[in-house]
Amino acid sequence: MSCLVKTNYSHQLSSTAMAMCSSFCPLIPNQLRARPICPFPTKPLFTLSVKAFSSETSNASSKADGLSARIGFLGLGIMGSPMAQNLIKAGCDVTVWNRTKIKCDPLISLGAKYKSSPREVAASCDVTFAMLANPESALEVACGEHGAASGMSSGKGYVDVSTVDGATSKLIGGRINATGASFLEAPVSGSKKPAEDGQLIFLTAGDKSLYELVAPLLDIMGKSRFYLGDVGNGAAMKLVVNMIMGSMMASFSEGLLLSEKVGLDPSVLVEVVSQGAISSPMYSTKGPSMIQSTYPTAFPLKHQQKDLRLALGLAESVSQPTPIAAAANELYKVAKSHGLSDQDFSAVIEALKAKLQNPPK
């Protein structure tokens, strides 16, 4: 049997609906959408039915009105919870699991089902998403004693949206594929607010047919998606992006403190930077709270340091010098040693303050 993406498009999309489509995800002509896209000689993964929506219907959930599938979601932390919520609000049939069950309760109140292990979630769902904090957790949840792999079988799909190294992703993918199921890595670029707003960027790699099948689900949770080829490429792209981001934040922290030290107003620096060639939403969003020494967590500092460590390992594996990222990593390690692991990664500025207060003798 073939796996199909079914569509119920009206003859003409409204101008508003067209405008809301991602520029990275162009619409496919209707005559192409009815063709088989999954070669597996098994029961279809799931059926997706996406209806076009009128100009009066502009909320995010309308993008998936009528979308039906049994979706599993493992890991309901700072990113996983809002991602799963968006799926539920879009009308998806979602089953959740988290090590700490209390984190499942808000989603259950929204209509989610609950299972007591990753294996049970995977066994009861057509496609299972996983958003875990680190490679060790991602591997355990997928391949452990009660892991998702033990509940997978032919016709099912596993989509790991965690940030891990390529080796871990390939290990998980191999274990999932051994069950006859399909695997897609899809780490995200974006933090808490983009996750809440459905504005994440998915960096996917792996099974192309699974990618095409879950695309409507990715579009509920994100604003754009990239397919990068073989498993490992998505992980590599995410680590490069976060390596750049971590280095940028460390440099921005130095600039804020230097401006203040020479008698300038750091608030004006944020405004100047935000209007120039190096403008970044990160600076304008994080700068004001950094000046006030408050760091509401959108992306935990411990995760930024973990990603820098993994990126440095990736660079080492191909003999690519990364001295700036290496220096930034040391600064984040100092921040962790000062008890800032669970603060936002912008709290790295406190490591520089500590160095100023305790200069080397």
Which sequence positions are flagged as catalytic? 238
- In angstroms, the CA 7 to CA 30 distance is 8
- In angstroms, the CA 293 to CA 49 distance is 48
Give, in order, the Cα–Cα distances in Å from 105 to each of 79, 96, 97, 98, 131: 16, 10, 10, 10, 17
| Residue 361 burial (C-beta neighbours within 10 Å; 0-12, 13-18, 19+) | exposed
Identity (one letter) of the amino acid at 183?
Answer: F
- In angstroms, the CA 294 to CA 79 distance is 21
133-137, long-range: CB within 8 Å, 24+ apart, which pairs?
133/75, 133/77, 133/162, 133/303, 134/162, 134/164, 134/303, 134/306, 135/162, 135/164, 135/165, 135/168, 135/310, 137/75, 137/162
Closest to 162 in 3D by CA, of 193, 196, 128:
128
- In angstroms, the CA 291 to CA 285 distance is 11
Residue 313's beta-bridge partner residues?
none
